[in-house]
A and B are shown apart, each in its own frame.
Chain A
């Protein structure tokens, strides 16, 4: 169990791992995540399940390198084993036939968005995806998203690919042009904040999938808490998806930065050690 069967670099800092996890593969649905602890001394981090294959008993995780743990994951190879992995966690996305669904994904958030877009399309919806990345090189999973969308708009910050601009520009293009019944946004917190403001203007019900700091992932610690509609919620058990128009993004951004200092120090220690 938990053996990496396939590894692929999607960009210079994003890796795709296909992992043998038959139990999780059998249960997972779009929107679910796992908690992973790489080795004896590792931390527990949440990772959204980007894809799964019941027959092969595998799940796919897509990881962007940001700190020690994601760096260690990038360094793992096919054949290596992840020590602890538990899931599937969280509530699955509620998929219904609603008409037209706009999916706005940014950066590595495109990975968790993929299964949701696919599920909406399979349920008979018209799916339009807006993918945003800093530049062409950092854009991931374009092919896969195209396979399950009726239309794909690509936005890059520097205009190196698709159109130049932010995710919200691509969204507005669609929202100005046609009736959208539902929207999904996944990406960096700040991006989701503006994506939500955009759909709010057009009165389109929207969900955002949140990736907060977590420890247990079972509702036991409250590390993952966010404020939604004025109430404290635990992302791991109440989410990870919430009404995007009611999330306190500023608080979430602040909480995501809680360990900035500790994490930077740990990363420096780690880099020093790996170089030696």
Chain B
């Protein structure tokens, strides 16, 4: 098995059951999926090669920039699959009678169908299949944690103990192919019905809502606090993992379909939801994300040179701070410590390397197996020479007379019994404290829901964690006509879950409007 899968195997354990993320969708669609599978082109294709031949093909390897080179530039690390590679990988898929992979996909993409379209050479069709359920396949193909969603549920892993079909790579391939073909289909939209829909936040959840609502004929406006559209896709996830261009094409498409974007507009400040109601907006979606960075509240954490990952990544990604032509400054530290083990931590630490750090390290209180980051990112970070200091946690920071951080005190940890998350709990080892020199520290220990909207809408029912409480079927909040989804409902989650929420909310909003507004 490929080393990256070894890592993920140990991470989730071989015994993990097929996780039915979307059991309901699966049940509802079972007959439909079966019907589709029986279509002639697919039966033919299945029969064209023996299963044994398919399973003998080794999993494709992504074309990547050389680790040494790429750590010096900001171009995308993964270069994509060639048509031949994609075709060969698509042949591995057995087009299972019970496609367990689909049950792992939060939006229930018809996985075997799109893969078989690639195998039959009809890549634009494959892209269409993706778009039936996923508004941003080129994004998801790059950033979804496939190894714990679709791929872990693939027959190859579950039954053959082999590397799964590279579903994520193929998704990216089909979506990129369509984008580069110049034949990107702009979905048809119904005639405008004049009903105004307000979407708060332009992250993946908001964009997904916009895509559906505009198709159904609504007058859709997306309000965004920042000066750029895209939420975390723009200000958080770096260019080397998700090029802006990929996101911009999707946004342009939404524009072409008629979606209006209002940047520099903070709902709750520039105008409240009530103001917008008075302006004729009938229904709202809150997709304001989990923008509030957490700190550890340990001594010295406010010294200069210590950032939240949000600040560091925003300076570099949104404000282009690494380019002298731009006015925003950023420290390009030489000894950089990033605290945390998630995607944000990986993105920060790899960014610091690209800004010229000699030594970039991850400080994480559990072991590498428990890190929540995508396996591929951990693997790439390792290749790029990031130092992993697992089972360590900072206790205090020390600065020079100007207040600039110069060193930190770390404490070693060991793993105890599993906690409620099922991961083994880190336990501090007394007396193990030691000092490490640093000149930049990036705190990437998680985010909390953005409180701007909730604090401007006191009637909105919130959980103790500051997330908006919604009806899970319709995504409607405690205020009729106000829907919500994505990180503001889940806390820090994933792009695909945010998008899935958006689509569910759009359906809920459509129903609501049919009942309360369109009929009148």
Contacts and interface: CB of A to CB of B under 8 A. Distances in A.
A244 B271 CA distance: 30
Contacts of B264: 84-86
A221 B328 contact: no
Contact of A219 (B301, B314, B327, B450): B450
A37 B301 CA distance: 28
A105 to B, nearest CB: 25
B307 A88 contact: no
Interface string A240-276: 0000000000010011011100110010010000000
A210 to B, nearest CB: 14
B426 to A, nearest CB: 24
Dominant secondary structure of chain A at its interface with chain B:
mixed
Contact of B314 (A215, A232, A269): A215
B314 A216 contact: yes
A27 B310 contact: no
B26 interface: no
16 contacts: A41-B326, A41-B327, A43-B319, A86-B270, A89-B269, A215-B314, A218-B226, A219-B292, A220-B292, A221-B314, A222-B307, A223-B307, A223-B311, A232-B297, A254-B402, A263-B329
A87 interface: yes
Interface string B468-504: 0000000000000000000000000000000000000
Given A85-B264, A218-B226, A269-B324, 13 more contacts: A42-B327, A43-B328, A44-B319, A69-B327, A84-B264, A86-B227, A89-B269, A215-B315, A218-B266, A223-B307, A225-B295, A262-B330, A266-B329
A220 B293 contact: yes
Nearest to B301: A232
B304 A232 contact: no
Given A44-B328, A251-B403, A255-B302, A84 B263 contact: yes
B452 A219 contact: yes
A237 B329 contact: no
Nearest to B328: A43
A222 B291 CA distance: 10
Contacts of B266: 86-87, 89, 218
Nearest to B226: A216
Given A86-B270, A87-B270, A215-B319, A220 B450 contact: yes
A23 interface: yes
B320 interface: yes
B293 A221 contact: yes
Q: What secondary structure prevails in chain B residues at the interface with A?
A: loop
Contacts of B303: 254
B265 interface: yes
Nearest to A221: B311
Contacts of B319: 43-44, 215
Contact of A27 (B271, B311, B402): B271
A36 to B, nearest CB: 10
B245 interface: no
A225 B329 contact: no
Contacts of B320: 41
Contacts of A24: 270
Contacts of B226: 86, 216, 218
Interface string A106-142: 0000000000000000000000000000000000000
A135 to B, nearest CB: 29
Given A84-B227, A232-B302, A269-B324, A222 B329 contact: no
A5 interface: no
B277 to A, nearest CB: 16
B311 A222 contact: yes
Contact of B293 (A87, A222, A254, A258): A222
A216 B293 contact: no
B492 to A, nearest CB: 13
B295 A232 contact: yes
Interface in B233-262: 235
Closest 5 CB pairs of A and B: A254-B403, A262-B329, A221-B311, A258-B304, A220-B291
Most buried by A among B269, B308, B326, B404: B269
Contacts of A164: none
Contacts of A232: 295, 297, 301-302
A225 B302 CA distance: 7
Given A84-B263, A237-B451, A27 B329 contact: no
B357 interface: no
A227 interface: yes
B410 interface: no
Contacts of A27: 269-271
B459 interface: no
Interface in A43-98: 43-44, 68-69, 83-89
Which of A254, A255, A263 has its CB near the most chain B CB atoms (within 10 A)?
A254
Nearest to A68: B327
Contacts of B307: 221-223
B226 to A, nearest CB: 6
A258 B329 CA distance: 10
Given A24-B270, A219-B452, A220-B293, A86 B225 contact: yes
B325 interface: yes
A45 to B, nearest CB: 9
Interface in A195-243: 215-216, 218-223, 225-227, 232, 237
Given A89-B266, A254-B403, A258-B304, A218 B291 contact: yes
A16 B246 CA distance: 41
Nearest to A253: B403
B310 to A, nearest CB: 5
A13 to B, nearest CB: 19
Contacts of A83: 227
Contacts of B327: 41-43, 68-69, 266
A37 to B, nearest CB: 6
Nearest to A40: B326
A256 to B, nearest CB: 9
Contacts of B297: 232
A27 B269 CA distance: 8
A251 B405 CA distance: 13
Contacts of A88: 269-270
Nearest to B288: A218
Contacts of B292: 219-220
A90 B307 CA distance: 21
Contacts of A226: 302
A223 B307 CA distance: 7
A114 B292 CA distance: 32
Contacts of B328: 43-44, 215
B281 to A, nearest CB: 15
B108 to A, nearest CB: 32
A215 B403 contact: no
Interface in A142-172: none
Contacts of A218: 225-226, 266, 291, 450, 452
A130 B295 CA distance: 38
B311 A227 contact: no
